[in-house]
Structure 1
């Protein structure tokens, strides 16, 4: 759970803006579990601009050919300090610090033919010039069959982790799927962790058309991985994640998380790749659908809005601990039902919330509608005369009282419709759902 600079600032974020968001996160959101601040792509490019990438950009490199922060945007990086001073300031706030890297080696490092430390090789020898990123031309791939390539990658990762980086987002790894690059990167990160005595979370992206056929490999070599291309503040983008998360959610486990991408919420587009400065175009209902789905699917949460300028309602939704309980204290989150405009997800409490169950009753319709589903189909099966506490199946009822659900977002109590001949002997969930909205329901034992 954290903040990433991309949705607001694209390639242009500054040290002051990173610290503004870090301070806001620490003061207003850390208590709900938000912990990490990530500087996204092009922190090493002096000519970075809003709205895209610069072909042949004059990226800044150190004597090893490793990227270094632009001092005009990151003043504390002057005199070769790199991100160490900024990482210290973020750590002093009680937060973790992350940066973005792109697969491979900078073309400018290859052109400069620099020595590869600890080897007789030079950077001009270790590039795979046939392996490039389709949307950014800063780098060549590395020829990982060459011993000098692995030595240079070790030097790059060691330099970055040595700054105090806790989180590495590494791009152009999964579309197409670069098996050798994933393995080499994971090994380099592990060696840097040992040398520096710190844990680094490794995140891979983008996840365009990513298949679960790669699941075992991803689990062995990464902590989280994207399952889609970039997601923006459009309903179509949110809706498309239902099917992806239905595919990935059953495989979630600690230390190996499928990531549904950043939350384009709050004030975004300040100097971003996409769109003018704006408050997120998602409605309140769509925002809550996104947060509910991400939590039920146990996706990492990285918000992209410029937090100090974001509206209070968005910040309140992002820090709802009863909603975040679904993310942090549930198990078995999965899609249970999909029929027309209705999608139903369920999850159960972990050992800290034994017996609690949640159901997300989603409607993808463009107008409000009433949704009625059997309680068992929403993972909320109760005994035929279960008590108001929602007894487990087969438990002794208490005087025929009706089980009651609570809508986590609104606090509304939602009684289950009791069994009858018309319902086929099952309790029913009967709720009004907003357009593109959700009723996130909790049943307590």
Structure 2
């Protein structure tokens, strides 16, 4: 039995990642139908990328590990299979598909395997020098695929497909440059940053990346995978809790990278109908409680949200889950999210395999006007005659009442410096992000049976760090799924179903 919850201390108004949709082994018509659904139903919630998953270059005559069925050009670069992507004929690649996706208001992405294809290496294909349009030459000779390929480092799960390359050589760098320039010319938005066409780079450093490994890549990319492939099985979800804990404890969530911030990626959400018929085929095999647990963990860990199912068959319940305004606000705006273990259960069962981690906290303070563009969604208004309040209305909360705090009531998670006068109960961090004192607490019940889980308000880091400086008066809020109301200054609890989740949104004074 194991219990786990993550704690958030404030709302950080910076969009942290790129919500996406991913789809493999499909034809262009199916893909574009799904992209249209994103445009019609999901773009308002922040979903902005439609990504073609791996094997878009492989003929359906071969499976994922067949040799000799890849579509490649004369320079060893992958091209779309023209049988599945008819518009790619005539060396047009994904240009027409990308244009259609862009016309829907979305961004277009593709999955790439690292290195070079075994097929290109076996054929010893030349490497393009994009500066000359000719085969790459160095030291008086032409360099080919065999000169940069490393057969001893073939892909472990696709041994006949791809191998690593020596990217320290001029030829290796030229090969990578030729790939990215080709795909950027198609209009790809989700591969690489650094070209004239702005592109997002997301990579997978292996099946078992560690925070130590992430330190070497997080500053170079926008997102990076930190888990094995996630399928619709409870065992796969369970394995991700320790991963989320470790990367949060290592302060790798939202770490500064070359152009912005980088985000550990817990993999796509295998909800709904999975389309890869050779491996899995839906509908989902996890319960609704388990799906809520997975979505909540992803959002509390601020993982990129990638929906992996066929949107043409999505049901109303699943659509409601992936567009839940509370979860999306946590994922986009929250900060300081960590595991916290000061909880009790009805049977006082101790958690195994976890330790309590003390999380450092640093204050920063500046001021802004509600009319400032950085404060988008915030407003100041009169309430009950002379009493004023500040309210936030998220664009994802069309059906929700705005969250408001009276100017004369200081949220306890705000800094002491914010209490100089009533107008200063909000903080503006040095990076221009607006912060309030709303707190999120999630109880994850990883046991099979329903269990009552409790926590003491005074034990939460938001309050324990205050010491005797401030007396807690009251905490009030709701549990997201049951919509039950809580008001307490001591403890709060919930009956959490097996493999389920209770998510509290608290405002404390």
TM-score, length of structure 2 as denominator length: 0.72
Are 2:344 and 1:262 aligned?
Answer: no
Confirm or deny: 8 A CA contact 2:448 2:498 kept in the other structure: yes
**2:279 equivalent in structure 1:** 274
**2:502 equivalent in structure 1:** 439
State the 1:17 CA deviation.
Answer: 1.6
Provide the C-alpha distance between the structure 2 equivalents of 1:214 and 1:220, rounded to a whole number of angstroms.
11
Counterparts of 1:414-425 in structure 2, within 5 Å, are: 414-416=486-488, 418=489
Distance 1:48 1:315, change over 3 A: farther
After the TM superposition, which parts of structure 1 deviate over 4 Å for at least 4 consecutive aligned residues?
341-351, 391-397
CA offsets, 1:1-20, max 9 Å, x none? 11111xxx4xx211112111
Q: Which runs of 5+ in 1 are unaligned?
A: 169-188, 384-390, 419-426
Distance 1:209 1:115, change over 3 A: closer
Counterparts of 1:159-198 in structure 2, within 5 Å, are: 159-168=182-191, 189-190=192-193, 193-194=194-195, 197-198=196-197
**1:372 equivalent in structure 2:** 454
SS in 2 for 1:361: strand
Are 2:22 and 1:4 aligned?
Answer: yes
SS in 1 for 2:228: coil
Confirm or deny: 8 A CA contact 1:263 1:302 kept in the other structure: yes
Provide the C-alpha distance between the structure 1 equivalents of 2:312 and 2:299, rounded to a whole number of angstroms.
24
**2:229 equivalent in structure 1:** 230
CA offsets, 1:148-167, max 9 Å, x none? 22212211111112211111
Provide the C-alpha distance between the structure 1 equivalents of 2:48 and 2:241, rounded to a whole number of angstroms.
26
State the 1:114 CA deviation.
Answer: 2.9
* Residue from 403, 406, 416 that aligns with 2:475: 403
Provide the C-alpha distance between the structure 2 equivalents of 1:288 and 1:431, rounded to a whole number of angstroms.
15
Are 2:111 and 1:100 aligned?
Answer: yes
State the 1:382 CA deviation.
Answer: 8.9
Provide the C-alpha distance between the structure 2 equivalents of 1:342 and 1:359, rounded to a whole number of angstroms.
21
Counterparts of 1:44-443 in structure 2, within 5 Å, are: 44-47=57-60, 53-118=64-129, 119-120=136-137, 121=142, 122-136=144-158, 137-168=160-191, 189-190=192-193, 193-194=194-195, 197-205=196-204, 207-249=206-248, 250-253=251-254, 255-268=261-274, 270-275=275-280, 277-337=281-341, 339-340=350-351, 351-379=433-461, 381=463, 402-416=474-488, 418=489, 427-443=490-506
SS in 2 for 1:220: coil
State the 1:29 CA deviation.
Answer: 0.9
CA offsets, 1:224-258, max 9 Å, x none? 11111111111111111111100002321162111
Provide the C-alpha distance between the structure 2 equivalents of 1:440 and 1:411, rounded to a whole number of angstroms.
10
CA offsets, 1:63-100, max 9 Å, x none? 21111001110111111100111111111111111111
State the 1:369 CA deviation.
Answer: 1.4
**1:173 equivalent in structure 2:** none
Distance 1:68 1:334, change over 3 A: same
State the 1:143 CA deviation.
Answer: 2.6
Structure 1 range deviating more: 205-214 or 226-235:
205-214
The number of aligned residues is 393
Provide the C-alpha distance between the structure 1 equivalents of 2:327 and 2:338, rounded to a whole number of angstroms.
16
Provide the C-alpha distance between the structure 1 equivalents of 2:117 and 2:44, rounded to a whole number of angstroms.
39
Confirm or deny: 8 A CA contact 2:20 2:307 kept in the other structure: yes
Confirm or deny: 8 A CA contact 1:323 1:409 kept in the other structure: no
Confirm or deny: 8 A CA contact 1:341 1:363 kept in the other structure: no
Task: Please give the root-mean-square deviation of Cα atoms over the aligned residues, in Å.
Answer: 2.8
Structure 1 range deviating more: 145-154 or 334-343:
334-343
State the 1:115 CA deviation.
Answer: 2.8
CA offsets, 1:263-284, max 9 Å, x none? 011122x334433x32211211
TM-score, length of structure 1 as denominator length: 0.81
Structure 1 range deviating more: 100-109 or 204-213:
204-213
**1:18 equivalent in structure 2:** 31
Confirm or deny: 8 A CA contact 2:475 2:507 kept in the other structure: no
Provide the C-alpha distance between the structure 2 equivalents of 1:352 and 1:369, rounded to a whole number of angstroms.
37
CA offsets, 1:382-437, max 9 Å, x none? 99xxxxxxx9985577xx6x532211234321233x5xxxxxxxx11121111111
Distance 1:358 1:342, change over 3 A: farther
Provide the C-alpha distance between the structure 2 equivalents of 1:112 and 1:209, rounded to a whole number of angstroms.
32
* Residue from 37, 47, 54 that aligns with 1:41: 54
Provide the C-alpha distance between the structure 2 equivalents of 1:392 and 1:410, rounded to a whole number of angstroms.
32
Considering fraction of residues, name the structure with more helix: 1
Provide the C-alpha distance between the structure 2 equivalents of 1:248 and 1:211, rounded to a whole number of angstroms.
8
SS in 2 for 1:366: coil
Distance 1:444 1:198, change over 3 A: farther
Confirm or deny: 8 A CA contact 2:61 2:69 kept in the other structure: no
Provide the C-alpha distance between the structure 2 equivalents of 1:25 and 1:261, rounded to a whole number of angstroms.
19
